[in-house]
Structure 1
Amino acid sequence: MLKGIHPVLNPDLLRAIARMGHGDEIVIADANFPSSTMGPEVIRADGVSATAMAEAILTHMPLDTFVSETAWRMQVVGDPEATPEVCSEFQAIVSARAGNFAVASLERFAFYDRARTAAYIVATTEFRLYGNLILKKGVVHPGEVFWG
């Protein structure tokens, strides 16, 4: 047990987000997402919702400020303008934890293509449909590092 670390982040997740560099991406996947066939290393987060995982990761990982888009959700098939409740929650979490970033939407297969190039996929047990999010890691500035 460590102090100051979000309790949802297990050792494998801590290792993953610590190893990621500027511009690397991480997928937070729902229970229906084909995590094991995408290609990137899959980290299991059984019993954790996608929104809880987004909150935990964004507690410790900054988003990229060097690009126009830094977070993406999957569009609803057949209704790309729809915003499922879980996606509204993602936006609220990103705004609260990371700042003024919009969560962009990607068509389902474009989302899959982007997920294939991610550094990691976190497989949650989020049962709400379209509970998938991709986050692009930003820069940790010198003043944000704790040295004791």
Structure 2
Amino acid sequence: MLTGIDPLLVGPLLAHLDAMGHSDAVVLADAHFPAARVATRLLELPAVGTPALLAAICTVLPLDDAPALDLMDTPDHTRLPVQDELIAATGGAEPRMLDRFAFYTEAQGAFLVVRTGETRTYGNALVRKGVVHA
């Protein structure tokens, strides 16, 4: 166990986050997301919800300049509680809302997809890594 590291940040996830470069993206996918189809690299964390995992990731990953966060838009453009939680987990980053298929397209280019156990629909987030300043 490491001190100062959120226990949700398991070793393989930390290794992938570390390997990411500036503007590389990580997708946190809910349980409904076609993660195996779109992912180049896939981790599965079925006991974790996306907002909690995103909050943990944001403790070690600086966010890129806009757009730092993409969320999957609902058909009627209503923001859901899980999406509010995802925004809060980033410290309030203004999200870019993408329709479902545009989100899938963005996800295909992501460095990593993490499929969570989040069962709430539209509980998906794509975040981009910013510059790490020493």
State TM-score, norm by structure 2: 0.96
Secondary structure of 1:28's aligned partner: strand
Deviation at 1:4, TM superposition (A): 1.1
Structure 1: which 5+ runs fail to align? 143-148
Separation in 1, partners of 2:39, 2:122: 20
Which amino acid is 2:82 matched to?
Answer: V
1:83 aligns with 2:79: yes
Structure 1 runs of 4+ aligned residues shifted over 3 Å read none
Instruction: Return the match for 2:94 from 102, 105, 111.
Output: 102
Percentage of matched positions with identical amino acids: 38
User: For the Cα contact (< 8 Å) 2:52–2:89, is it kept in 1?
Assistant: no
Instruction: Return the match for 1:72 from 54, 60, 70.
Output: 70
Separation in 2, partners of 1:31, 1:60: 24
Secondary structure of 2:59's aligned partner: helix
1:126 aligns with 2:118: yes
1:136 aligns with 2:128: yes
Separation in 2, partners of 1:72, 1:25: 10
Deviations 1:48-87 (A, max 9, x none): 000111011111000013xx3110100113x1x2001100
Which amino acid is 1:109 matched to?
Answer: F
Separation in 1, partners of 2:105, 2:118: 21
Structure 2: which 5+ runs fail to align? none
Structure 2 counterparts to residues 15-54 of structure 1, below 5 A = 15-54=15-54
Secondary structure of 2:119's aligned partner: coil
Deviation at 1:91, TM superposition (A): 1.1
Secondary structure of 2:90's aligned partner: helix
Separation in 2, partners of 1:127, 1:46: 10
Greater Rg over alpha carbons, structure: 1
Deviations 1:19-72 (A, max 9, x none): 00101000000000000010321111110000111011111000013xx31101
Separation in 1, partners of 2:90, 2:52: 12
State TM-score, norm by structure 1: 0.87
